[in-house]
């Protein structure tokens, strides 16, 4: 068993994917396996969040003793890491491959990643807390890297472009998922929660001066139907802006390279001319 204290001594290797677990002797409880544990954990995380997940509650959900879980995992952190990688597996990589060019592949990856974050509000903080090095996470990362590579950006620019797109998606999906959860906790639809929240501070006199420059923006957003439609509209347009930005930078890099090559060719010619 891997102890928390041992992980604290070597945080760079603190991952279930980097640790060698000594198998327990004998057989585990009948009908229980790691996959079943992880599926139940994901269901609990979706319903109750990270703070309320415990080995005791998970065992009760599975109708086994808490000690039974330790046949398959060493800690609650192990379960969360397995859960993180499992939901990465929800991103449809076959659809990414079928999309064709890098622009469409980026869009499919971005949309699927956003949807996954919204389905699982616990995923955003978990992805930031644990190493994302399970097989599904690596497969998704590879597809992202392939799409960015095919933009034609030089290698030293590719990580920046990857960050621009997918850190945007991470942030967007995080905010969207937390807003949806907050509305649900209030027992309201997103539309009602948004409408009443906006009305509350727009009607508050102490906010009047601060909100005056934002009035047109708030009115515009309110004119576009449901909150879901607003989420989708803003996401699609922002992603188009990022893709267009990559296209612009590719063109700029290509022009700069051609200029360098032309200058170098001219300098070589001038040098040869002086030598003759």
Q: Do 143 and 104 contact (CB within 8 A), yes or no?
A: no
In the chain, where does DSSP find H-type helix?
A: 4-9, 34-48, 55-62, 66-69, 76-88, 93-98, 102-119, 123-129, 135-149, 158-185, 190-202, 208-211, 215-222, 227-275
What tens digit of pLDDT does each residue of 35-59 get?
Answer: 999 999 999 999 999 999 999 999 9
Q: pLDDT tier at 261 (50, 70, 90 boundaries)?
A: low
Q: Do 170 and 235 contact (CB within 8 A), yes or no?
A: no
Domain ranges across the chain: 4-87, 93-187+224-259
What's the confidence (pLDDT) of residue 181?
Answer: 92
CB atoms closer than 10 angstroms to residue 245: 13
What CATH number belongs to 93-187+224-259? 1.10.357.10
Helix (H, G, I), strand (E, B) or coil at 33: coil
What's the confidence (pLDDT) of residue 201?
Answer: 84
pLDDT at 136 over 80: yes
**pTM of the predicted model as reported, rounded to 2 decimal places:** 0.86
What CATH number belongs to 4-87? 1.10.10.60
Q: pLDDT tier at 8 (50, 70, 90 boundaries)?
A: low
């Amino acid at each position: 068993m891997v102890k928390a204290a041992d992980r604290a001594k070597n945080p760079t290797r603190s991952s279930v994917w980097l640790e060698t677990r000594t198998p327990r002797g004998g057989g585990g409880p009948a009908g229980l396996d790691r996959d079943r544990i992880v599926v139940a954990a994901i269901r609990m995380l979706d319903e109750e969040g990270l703070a309320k997940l415990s080995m005791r509650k998970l065992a009760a959900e599975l109708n086994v003793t808490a000690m039974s879980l330790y046949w398959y995992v060493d800690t609650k952190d192990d379960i969360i890491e397995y859960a993180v990688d499992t939901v990465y597996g929800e991103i449809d990589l076959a659809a990414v491959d079928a999309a064709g060019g890098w622009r469409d592949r980026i869009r499919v990856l971005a949309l699927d990643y956003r949807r996954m974050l919204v389905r699982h509000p616990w995923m955003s903080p978990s992805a930031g807390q644990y190493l994302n090095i399970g097989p599904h996470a690596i497969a998704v990362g590879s597809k992202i890297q392939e799409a960015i590579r095919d933009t034609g950006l030089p290698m030293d620019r590719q990580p920046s472009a990857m960050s621009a797109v997918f850190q945007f998606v991470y942030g967007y999906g995080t905010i969207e998922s937390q807003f949806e959860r907050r509305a649900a906790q209030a027992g309201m639809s997103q539309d009602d929660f948004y409408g009443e929240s906006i009305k509350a501070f727009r009607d508050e006199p102490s906010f009047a001066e601060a909100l005056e420059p934002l009035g047109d923006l708030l009115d515009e957003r309110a004119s576009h139907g449901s909150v879901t439609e607003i989420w989708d509209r803003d996401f699609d347009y922002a992603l188009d802006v990022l893709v267009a930005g990559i296209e612009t930078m590719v063109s700029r890099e290509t022009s700069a390279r051609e200029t360098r090559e032309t200058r170098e060719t001219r300098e070589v010619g001038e040098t040869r001319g002086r030598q003759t």
